[in-house]
Structure 1
């Protein structure tokens, strides 16, 4: 398997579609699938000292949620018109924010 796997979803594109509860849940589900796919592609052997194959910097729930919260506190890209997308942005940041 390679990172050209057809199961990979472009989370950036999907994030822009978030506008209500249903699309937010779809995004959260895709984010979870992205995490699981990275673990599968790495076959239990993550690359040390770098992001995973799909860009995951935070591989535990506590690190993921902590990074999400820290990024959310920065107020970057605060979408005041669409709180569903803002919440999705906060969770997405937990993937890569350190």
Structure 2
């Protein structure tokens, strides 16, 4: 069974898994129209805003120690953060 993006983002541990996640994020964008941010401008704004808002963690989000995973999470949130 194919993993979801959410599952893949949580599998990121190093550069190779980060690059794999970016590839899957790209495929998801091509195959799905359920993205909140459809332009590069809105995507970049969303990743910036969520990254800044979550810099110290959030109520239901614990910031990981692994920088590769954190970067993947920020990119993932560009898909869904309004």
TM-score, reference length from structure 1: 0.71
C-alpha contact 1:19 1:84 (8 A) present in aligned 2: yes
Instruction: Please tell me the root mean square deviation across aligned C-alpha atoms, in Å.
Output: 1.6
Structure 1 residue ranges, 4+ long, deviating more than 6 angstroms after superposition: none
TM-score (norm 2): 0.84
Alignment length (residue pairs): 76
Alignment of 1:1-98 (within 5 A): 9-38=3-32, 52=33, 55-75=34-54, 76=57, 77=61, 78-79=63-64, 81-98=65-82
Select the structure of larger CA radius of gyration.
Answer: 1
Which SS does the other structure have where 1:59 is aligned? coil
The runs of 5 or more residues in structure 1 that have no matched partner are: 1-5, 39-51
| Structure 2 residue runs without a partner (length 5+) | none
